[in-house]
Every structure is written in C-alpha cells, then in structure tokens.
C-alpha cells in the first residue's frame, strides 16, 4: 500500500549580510531544494537592503541581500522550519543577538495559507506584511500573491517605506537545469 503525502506551497524568505552573501543565498536555495520532500519551484532575483535592527535601520551595519523562493513541501510546517534552521546552522548562522547580523536567515513566510501560532512557529510570518525586502522579491515570482490575514502583497509593498534596490546577479535557481531524475524520485 502506497502512502500519499500532502504537498503544500511554501514561501521562504532568504537574507544574508555576512560573508559572501550571494554565495550563501545560492547555497541555501540548493540546500532547500535538496531537502527530502521539498522542491523549489521558483526563486526571485536578489535585492539589497540596509540592515534592520531592533532599533530600526542601521546604515553602519553591512547591508543585506534578500530573495524569496517558492517551494512545494510534503512536510508539516514545523518539520520544514526545523529543516530551514538546520540549513542556517550548517551555513554558519549564530543566534547571539535578536535581529543581529547573520550569514543566512531563512524565514517561512507562508505555508499553504495555514494559520499557526505556537511556541515553535507563527504562520503566516508575523512581520512579513511590513517588510519590503520580503514583499518585493515575492512579487517577482508571484505577482498575484496574497499574504493570509493581510491581503495582496502588491498593496502591502506599496504601503512600505523601506529602501529596496535590485542587486545584479545571475538567477538563483533554474528549474529547467535541475536533475529531473532526482526530482521525479521525490
């Protein structure tokens, strides 16, 4: 008897402001796509933004490179978030300071339009609706996106005042070049 797995769409935001930022984003996208039960379906271009700290924008801190990936996952939200935290740890993420500088940050923004609020996870991400560095790249890959409980992403982006600039880079992910044999096995 074959067991069916429910596959849901996920929106994952990526950010890096330490080390080789672009290379870290690329490696994170590859690692997300390599997770068992997860397939990246699209990745935005890269945007650059000033560092956001607890006290606000910090122009003296290294700027962030940010992107968004869309994926399909046959995991529950807690499993996916734990896997994302594992990728962060492998890529050198250290959690010493809330909203501190980091090699990589992977946030689960939306997962199948589910609503969750536990000690481990909040869905949708509680501050995504305010963050142009999430909303702008998300619109690149899903122009009709809606953030559950908050509305259309294009309207949310229009209401932000954050500075986001495009960062010239080759695509983070090309679905047509992925190993189709490996994908079919998932």
Query: What residues are annotated to the active site?
Result: 93, 102, 105, 107
Among 34, 127, 28, 120, which residue's Cα sits nearest to residue 79? Answer: 120
Closest listed residue to residue 17, CA positions, set 101, 111, 74, 90: 101
Give the bridge partners for 39, in sequence order: 72
Tell me how many degrees the CA angle 182-38-180 measures, rounded to the nearest 5: 25
For 123, residues 6+ apart whose C-beta sits below 8 A from its C-beta are 77, 108, 110, 111, 114, 115, 116, 117
Distance, CA of 59 to CA of 24 (rounded, Å): 22
DSSP state of 95: -
CA dihedral of 17, 12, 23, 31, whole degrees rounded to 10: 130
Alpha helix (H) ranges present in 35-142?
A: 77-90, 132-141
């Amino acid at each position: 008897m074959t067991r069916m797995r429910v596959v849901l769409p996920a929106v994952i935001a990526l950010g890096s402001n330490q080390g080789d930022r672009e290379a870290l984003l690329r490696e994170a996208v590859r690692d997300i796509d390599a997770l068992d039960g997860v397939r990246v379906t699209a990745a935005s271009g890269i945007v650059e933004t000033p560092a956001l700290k607890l006290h606000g924008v910090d122009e003296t801190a290294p700027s962030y490179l940010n992107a968004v990936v869309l994926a399909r996952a046959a995991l529950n939200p807690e499993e996916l978030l734990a896997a994302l935290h594992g990728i962060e740890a492998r890529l050198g993420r250290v959690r010493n300071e809330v909203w501190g500088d980091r090699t990589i940050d992977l946030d689960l923004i939306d997962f199948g339009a589910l609503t969750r609020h536990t000690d481990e996870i909040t869905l949708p991400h509680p501050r995504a609706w305010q963050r142009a560095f999430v909303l702008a790249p998300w619109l690149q890959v899903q122009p009709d996106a809606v953030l559950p409980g908050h509305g259309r992403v294009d309207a949310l982006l229009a209401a932000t005042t954050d500075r986001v600039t495009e960062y010239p880079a080759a695509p983070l992910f090309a679905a047509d070049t992925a190993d189709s044999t490996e994908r079919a096995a998932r």
